[in-house]
Copies of this chain bind each other. A is one copy, B any other.
Amino acid sequence: MPTQSRAAVSLQSALPATDADEWEDLLHRATTRPKRAPDRKQDRSKRTEQQILNAALRVFARDGISRSRIADIAAEAGISTSTLYEYYKSKEDLAYDLPTSHLVTFFEEYRTAVAGRTSARDKLQLYLSMSADFAREHAEWGRLFYLEIWPSVLVSETELRHSVDDFARIVLYLIDEGVRQGEFPAGRNTYETASLLLGAVNQVIITWLLYRRPRNLTKASAEITERVLNMIANEKD
C-alpha cells in the first residue's frame, strides 16, 4: 500500500528515499493542494459554494472572463450579488480559484489509471492522452483553463500556479525517468523535450477548443503523442 506509507513519510522528511517514492510524492502533492476558500460551517454553504462554481463555469465559458458580470453569475446561481462576495472577494479571485478542483480531479484520475503502467513512456502517453480527453469531457472547464487562465500572466500570482506547475513537473519527471531507464536517449535537454511534448499536445487541445478541429480530439491527441514519443525515443544521441 504505497499511498499510506507515502503519506506517513511525507510528514517526516521532504526528501523521498527512492525514485518510486519521489513519483508517489509528486502525485500526492498534486492531488492534495489545499483549498483556498475558508471552511464553511453549514451544509447550506457548501451547496451555495457549489452553485456559485457551477454558475461561474457556465457564464465564464459562455462570455469569457472579461465580459462576464458578477451579477449574471449570482443570478445564474440563484443568489444575490452580495452573497457571492461573501465567498469570493472579486471576479478575478473566483476565476482563478475555479479551475483548481477540476485539476485535482484530473490528477486523481491519472493517479488511478497510471497504477498499472511501469515504463516511463507508457506513463507519459497516458498522461498526455488523458489531459486531452479531460479537456474534451469538460469542455467548459477546458475553455476557461487553456484559453484564459493557463497562458495568463496573472496565473503566476495565484494559488493555482502550484497546480499548473505540478502539471508540467510530471512531464519533466517522466522524461527524466525515461532517460534513466534507457527508454529515451540521453544527452538531450530535458526541459526542451518537455516543451516539445507539452507544446505539441496543448496546441492540439487549444485548436480543438477554439475551432472543434480536429473533429476527433481523442484520436488526434493520441496520435500526435504517439508520434512525438516515437520521435524522441528514436533520436540519435
**Interface set of A (CB-CB < 8 Å, partner B):** 7-8, 64-67, 92, 143, 146-148, 150-154, 156, 188-189, 191-192, 195-196, 198-204, 206-207, 210-211, 213-214, 220, 223-224, 227-228, 231-232, 235
Contact = CB atoms under 8 A, between A and B. Distances in A.
Contacts of A192: 204, 220, 223-224, 227
A228 B197 CA distance: 11
B148 A210 contact: no
Contact of A196 (B67, B156, B211, B228): B228
9 nearest A-B pairs in the assembled complex, by CB-CB distance: A199-B203, A199-B199, A199-B200, A231-B231, A195-B203, A196-B200, A151-B151, A147-B151, A8-B213
A128 B67 CA distance: 33
A224 to B, nearest CB: 5
